[in-house]
Amino acid sequence: MGKKGKKEQTMQTTWSAFPAPLGSQVELSDYDPDDTGPFQGKSEVAAQIQANLKRIAELQELMFAEGKHALLIVLQAMDGGGKDSTIRHVMAGFNPQGCHVASFGVPTKEELAHDFLWRIHPHAPQRGYVSIFNRSHYEDVLIVRVNELVPAPVWQARYEHINAFERLLDDSGVTIRKFFLYISKDEQKRRLQERQKRKDKNWKFNPDDLKTRAKWDDYMCAYEDAISKCNQPWAPWYIVPANCKWYRNLFVSTVIVEAMEHMDMRYPPVAEGIEDIEII
């Protein structure tokens, strides 16, 4: 979903969200961050988004009751890409008692003294639970690469390490879905200007974000490689057209519902004769 020239074909079929193609080099220029599929406005999808959130709540309860599966959601985006907003609007379907959000910023001195995945693994979800990564282990092949924080052979080896790490999680019952919230450079400018002007958003404006923005093309190349090299059947990447927030919410919530339904979960069997027990 999101590729230019696919809208007409999509409108002729049942809408769904498709992962990035496996085994090929992704080029973000092939994707339109303004894409909204067959939909023209928020009113067309509001009911479906709410239905998705309700279904997410049902499936989370089932996942907790069964205790055999877990869900890891990875959110990556440029500054202003909508990670926080996605967590606020889409992940509201999850019961917070069984959902953990981990945000990964600049590594601490202790974290830098370990391998790059050391700080990540403790936040992976246990069976029955959900973890949401706001930024993630992919920062070590994105910002680390663009800002040349380690030699190229170091970050280049990390793609294989990431694939192995995510395969380990998958083998342990963790379903992984990774989302790149793809906005255009013009849309980022608009959102940063809004942060700059609005009193209720001033606190989110960081002048250092402009240094990252100046390296936009380098980051797009880094994202293309990260998505291409770490897009596996057990941990697929989804390129989410995210200029329109309502479409982003529909896209992400739809993928989550499909992923959880694919777990084919069952409530545990009840004890025999439970219906005959008298409750006094």
> Does residue 127 sit within a domain?
yes
100: left (phi over 0), alpha (psi -120 to 50) or beta: beta
> Does residue 1 sit within a domain?
no
> Does residue 51 sit within a domain?
yes
pLDDT in tens, the chain (280 residues): 444 433 333 322 245 678 999 999 999 999 999 999 999 999 999 999 999 999 999 999 999 999 999 999 999 999 999 999 999 999 889 999 999 999 999 999 999 999 999 999 999 999 999 999 999 999 999 999 999 999 999 999 999 999 999 999 999 999 999 999 999 999 999 999 998 888 777 777 788 889 999 999 999 999 999 999 999 999 999 999 999 999 999 999 999 999 999 999 999 988 888 888 888 8
Q: What is the pTM of this model?
A: 0.91
> Does residue 20 sit within a domain?
no
Number of domains in the chain: 1
Q: In which domain, by residue range, is 171 found? A: 35-262
Rounded alpha-carbon distances, angstroms, from residue 52 to 9, 46, 66, 77, 268 = 24, 10, 21, 23, 24
Give the CATH number of the domain where residue 103 resides: 3.40.50.300
> Does residue 218 sit within a domain?
yes
> Does residue 209 sit within a domain?
yes
> Does residue 99 sit within a domain?
yes
CA–CA distance, 40 with 15 (Å, rounded to integer): 13
SS3 label, residue 70? strand
> Does residue 125 sit within a domain?
yes
CA–CA distance, 146 with 220 (Å, rounded to integer): 10
Q: Answer yes or no: are the C-beta atoms of 56 and 130 closer than 8 Å.
A: no
